Amino acid sequence: MEQQLYRLAKEYSGQSISDYFVQQPERFNQLSLSTCDLMLDYSKQNIDSVVLGHLVAWAKEQGLTAKINAMFNGDKINNTENRAVLHTVLRAPYAIKQQVLGDKLASEVHSTHQRMAQIINSIQSGVAKGYSGKAFTDVVAVGIGGSYYGPKVCHEALKSYRQPGLKIHYLANVDGTAVVGKLEKINLETTLVVIISKTFVTQETILNANVLKQCLLEQGCGVDDLPKHFVAVTAAPEKAQAFGVDSKNILPMWDWVGGRFSLWSAVGFPLACAIGVENFEQLCAGAYEMDQHFQTSPFENNMPVLLALIGIWNCSFLGHNSLAVLPYDHLLRDFPGYLQQVDMESSGKRVDINGDDITMAIAPIVFGQEGTNGQHAFMQLMHQRHVIPTEFIVSLKGQSPFTEHHRVLVANCFAQSEALMQGKDLKQAYDECIASGINEQTARQLAPHKVMPGNSPSSTLVIEQLTPKTMGSLMALYEHKIFVQGAMWNLNSFDQWGVELGKQLGETIINAFDGKSTQSLSGSSKALVDMFLKAN
């Protein structure tokens, strides 16, 4: 089937997407799909029923159904770490938790959720207090990567659902300037620090947590009162305790929940603080609805599967090695950053699950920015130089009182997908110049610069209204899309060995800063270390 898809791709690469619409008046109805208050329009893709039929047949041939079931049933599909992948069970009803995890673990997951709610309640109600006896006004979530992006993207997206009272802040990067920025906004005396780290050894997180601990001490918090200011979410409770977190304020993570899929666990603590536990439950409910759709719908009508197969068609067969994700919604401006981590850390692999080289083109470079800002930046290149498949995301209903802004924003979104597809040929460009009063010679000179090849494929994902529930469905849609792509490419989407060497060499460089051997380093890095040492 793979070979047939390569052959089809050769045939289709010259195909005009605009022409499909001339030939198929019903194309939008045929190539769009609604579920969970989301509508996916993939009619502007270079695809038709023949290609889709082959992609679906290939998915069946690859045993996609069995792979989906293996994930949901808790098989150890993360084979390099010998772990199951069960973020889905966190948002499923209790009966499913019991069925998949067994009684003991199901009850642990359930009681973790309850403890999270209790701690949040005690902070919000003012029962929990800081070292000086004052109630908490701020929460700083310290974590990075998967222990940061999920809550942060939802925190921004669900701004209008934030509860009054507590202010929530995020501290991810290891940059003193970022710490100073946070400290300017908060009073540590009334701040709860939530350390989110599955391993509790992540350099950035531990450094930031230690700095906040030190600042608390310097500000007058006694050593005995320190635990009042810390909650930890981790799979290494003994390390959190050694740091000084009270064991009753340590919420577990489990090895069967990958960091970048962990929003649904207590990693969602800062988000639940911000939007309230009920809205957090709605987020989970939206994700569960998408899980059910994913598990039960035939591939032809399965949104995550279709999104994934179209992505594979563009990348592996048509040879487009990037993917732009463009939310036309200010509230989703963090979504491309979140997606970069989930997608590229999951799919950016060199070998398959057996350790054999992957020769197929896989794992597009994912980038994006909220519209319309991207139109005034990288979209020039997309219109005239490179074909970059695009996923537009837009909310039908705006959330500001400025309705004209929303009309203009959405119009720009729809216009961009049309422009990417239609393009403009030389004759159109020339005629346009003449029509605007430019003389013939100048028109001939100018017209080539105005040509846009067009035929760039895109999908548009329309969100009925951005709510906790639809946000949950959106997040789960992309989680499953990424899983399906990994399953089809036969790679392990749930490990991230590629980030390790940088961490190891980071230690080597810090040792070099401390005057230890630089022998293993290149001349470039040695010189850079020297420069840093001279300046500091």
Which chain residues interact with ligand F6P by CB under 6 A?
A: 144-147, 197-199, 202, 205, 259-260, 345, 496, 499
Amino acid at site 366: V
Residue 104 annotated to the active site: no
Min dist. Cβ of residue 254 to ligand F6P (A): 13
Closest to 226 measured CA to CA, from 250, 204, 243, 239? 243
Which residue among 189, 204, 289, 345 is the active-site one? 345
Min dist. Cβ of residue 322 to ligand F6P (A): 21
Min dist. Cβ of residue 251 to ligand F6P (A): 13
Cβ–Cβ under 8 Å, residues 230 and 118? no
Min dist. Cβ of residue 143 to ligand F6P (A): 6
Cβ closest to ligand F6P, residue 147 vs residue 417 = 147
Cβ closest to ligand F6P, residue 228 vs residue 260 = 260
Cβ closest to ligand F6P, residue 144 vs residue 433 = 144
CA distance linking residue 482 with residue 489, whole number of Å: 11
Min dist. Cβ of residue 172 to ligand F6P (A): 9
CA distance linking residue 41 with residue 53, whole number of Å: 18
Cβ closest to ligand F6P, residue 165 vs residue 348 = 348
Cβ closest to ligand F6P, residue 172 vs residue 188 = 172
List, as one string, the DSSP characters of 265-290. Answer: TGGGHHHHHHH-HHHHHHHHHHHHHH
Cβ closest to ligand F6P, residue 107 vs residue 340 = 340
Cβ closest to ligand F6P, residue 96 vs residue 207 = 207
Question: Is the omega angle on the peptide bond into residue 372 within 30 degrees of 0, that is, cis?
Answer: yes
Min dist. Cβ of residue 477 to ligand F6P (A): 20
User: Which strands, in side-by-side order, build the sheet including 167-171?
Assistant: 167-171, 138-142, 191-196, 230-234, 250-252
CA distance linking residue 205 with residue 171, whole number of Å: 8
Closest to 123 measured CA to CA, from 248, 7, 273? 273
Token readout for 251 is: 């919420």
Pairing of β 138-142 and β 167-171:
parallel
Q: What angle do CA 235, 241, 243 make, to 5 degrees?
A: 105
Which residue among 76, 376, 386, 397 is the active-site one? 376
Q: How far is CA 461 from CA 125, 165, 284, 392, 456, in A?
A: 39, 34, 20, 6, 16
Cβ–Cβ under 8 Å, residues 204 and 173? yes
Residue 345 annotated to the active site: yes
Which residue among 10, 248, 397, 503 is the active-site one? 503
Min dist. Cβ of residue 146 to ligand F6P (A): 3
Cβ-based neighbours of 171, under 8 Å, separated by 6 or more: 140, 141, 142, 178, 179, 182, 208, 212
Amino acid at site 110: H
- Helix, strand and coil in the chain, % to nearest 5: 60, 10, 30
Residue keyed to tokens 């069970």:
89
Cβ closest to ligand F6P, residue 205 vs residue 369 = 205
Closest to 239 measured CA to CA, from 210, 273, 281, 272? 210
CA distance linking residue 390 with residue 378, whole number of Å: 12
Min dist. Cβ of residue 364 to ligand F6P (A): 19
Residue 232 β-bridge partners: 195, 250
Min dist. Cβ of residue 490 to ligand F6P (A): 21
Q: Helix 426-435 crosses helix 440-450 at what angle (to 10 degrees)? A: 130
Half-sphere exposure of 168 (CA within 13 A, CB side): 27
Residue 330 annotated to the active site: no
Cβ closest to ligand F6P, residue 124 vs residue 147 = 147
Closest to 36 measured CA to CA, from 485, 474, 519? 474
Helix (H) or strand (E) segment spanning residue 192: strand 191-196
Residues classed as catalytic: 345, 376, 503
